[in-house]
Amino acid sequence: MRILVVEDEHKIANSIKKGLETQSYAVDVAYEGETGLSMATDEPYDLIILDRMLPGLDGVEILRQVREKGIHTPVLFLTAKDKVLDRAAGLNAGADDYLVKPFAFVELIARVRALLRRPAATRSTTLSYEDLKLDPETSLVTRGDTAINLSQKEFALLEYFMSNPDRPLSKDLLIEHVWNYDADILPNTVEVYIGYLRTKIDKRFRSSPDLIHTKRGFGYIFGVKV
């Protein structure tokens, strides 16, 4: 999953980025309003973390313009102002949730996960497909009764696959949602990580059906039927 953080305090922004990356999210950062608006409207994100007070455009105005463009990406609003009117301004502009500074990182992660689950609110936290299970909260992946050790990028790639089963996913789409904006992506980067995943979740389990398939002309499909 790919997240945009728009926060002018570099220490806070970089701490959020570092913490989210430990949870296998791809994270881009903007330190002022104009850049944040441009990235939020030009790039595909699964979640935006948006500060209330920013140089240039403030968070409320960014949010208003994002929603006016028909972009419905979930937005977590950050504010240092613990006042009803400030919180209401963000929610009225289209924020999905808010968090008051200072906050505990564990609470931020909980809010992020809740917002990323919102399109499938009835789904449990754990993603499951056939005998494969992935728990974003514990970073535990199992197939049958066997635990599978994945790198952070492998975990992020598998999580995106399992969130979009039986759907053709192009290389460009995978890059957009699994790698951050300034990542050094080589032409075969996706193929390399697909190969790693196939080795760990398919080739090791010959008695179970393969789950990652190449769809010529489309990209990849995660699922039993192709």
DSSP code, position 52: S
Helix/strand/coil for 162: helix
Same domain, 116 and 31: yes
Which helix (H) or strand (E) segment holds residue 3: the answer is: strand 2-6
| C-beta atoms surrounding 226 within 10 Å | 14
70 and 151 inside one domain: no
Domain count, the chain: 2
Contact between 61 and 90 under an 8 Å Cβ cutoff? The reply is no
- Domain co-membership, 24 together with 113: yes
* Structural domain for 83, as ranges: 2-120
Q: pLDDT tens across 15-57, in order?
A: 999 999 999 899 999 999 999 999 999 999 999 999 988 988 9
Residue with tokens 């393969």: 210
| Residue 95, domain CATH | 3.40.50.2300
pLDDT of res. 38: 95
Query: Radius of gyration (Cα) for the chain, nearest Å?
Result: 18
Same domain for 144 and 202: yes
CA distances from residue 81 to 62, 75, 77, 100 in whole angstroms, order as listed: 18, 17, 11, 7
115 and 131 together in one domain: no
Q: What confidence score (pLDDT) does residue 82 get?
A: 60
- What mean pLDDT comes out for the span 59-75? 92
Query: What confidence tier does 212 reach under pLDDT thresholds 50, 70, 90?
Result: very high
Euclidean distance between CA atoms 22 and 152, whole angstroms: 7
Pairwise pLDDT comparison (87 vs 20), residue with the higher score: 20
Backbone angles phi, psi at 106, to 5 degrees: -60, -35
| Shared-domain flag, residues 49 and 25 | yes
pLDDT on residue 125: 65
Contact 74, 47 (CB under 8 A): yes
Q: Give the pLDDT confidence of 185-197 residue by residue, as tens digits.
A: 776 899 999 999 9
Q: What is the pLDDT of residue 83?
A: 63
Are residues 107 and 45 part of one domain?
A: yes
pLDDT band at 221, cuts 50/70/90? very high
pTM score, whole prediction: 0.68
